[in-house]
Amino acid sequence: MFRALRTVALLLSAMAIFGQASAADWKEGTHYKKLDTPVHTSSDKGVEVAEVFWYGCPHCYKFKPFAEKWEANAPDYVNYVRIPAALGRSWEPHARAFYALEAMNALDKMNDAMFEALAGQHRPLNDGEALADFVAEHGLDRDEFLNNYNSFGVNARLQQAQAKIRGARVTGTPTMLVNGKYTVNASMAGGLEAMLSVVDYLVEKEHAADQ
């Protein structure tokens, strides 16, 4: 019995040491980048974690459940936001659709469906009309969607988002942007799940600096 307890204690100790070493191993320039010029965040309070994504990105599609789990368990001081990227002209309709759905308070209803249609099924939803038909399939008002899709407000939100993405020098998705200061992607971190371990480290770093 004593030997078993001692073995468990040693394993727990080893796991703790491994966890500390892993955190210590996250290196600027290797596992994450620090921006020369930080970009603005949505709030002056807390630590902002922004997920930069594209609905048609297969890697974003795979990353989605990990990101959602992380968000659900994030500390209260974390402000989690999603930023749809328009890194190419063909991506812009999907980013615009994100903000149109947000304006309709329909993101919770449509987010999974958008990912499934674009990244999962590769449906050709490449303009406002096709996207309007698609959201109508899910019970939303087609005209209301198009009105928002083409609105000044959505255009402004889209331009602000892309300015932030350019300022952060994001070149691929998914990318995590921590407090407007650091970017993390899968190739640097060593995988999709590893991205969130690096984000954990950076969040705690920023939170500690704010105390």
Residue 79 main-chain phi, psi, to 5 deg: -105, 105
Does the pTM surpass 0.85? The reply is yes
- pLDDT at residue 3, as a whole number: 45
Q: What are phi and psi of 124, to 5 degrees?
A: -80, 65
pLDDT of 202 over the 70 cut: yes
Q: Distance between CA atoms of 91 and 173, rounded to whole angstroms?
A: 12
pLDDT in tens, 134-148: 999 999 999 999 999
Over residues 92-104, the pLDDT tens digits come to 999 999 999 999 9
CB neighbours of 158 closer than 8 A, spacing ≥ 6? 86, 92, 95, 96, 99
Characterize 53-86 residue by residue with b for buried, 16 or more Cβ atoms within 10 angstroms of its Cβ, and e for exposed.
Answer: bbbbbebbbebbeebeebeeebeeebbbebbbbb
> DSSP letters along 73-105, please?
T--TTEEEEEEE--SSGGGHHHHHHHHHHHHTT
Q: What pLDDT does 44 receive?
A: 83
Domains and CATH numbers, the chain: 27-209 (3.40.30.10)
The overall average pLDDT reported for the chain is 91
Cα 64 to chain center, whole Å? 8
With a cut of 50, say whether residue 169 has pLDDT above it.
yes
pLDDT at site 20: 39
Task: Tokens for 78, please give them.
Answer: 């974390």
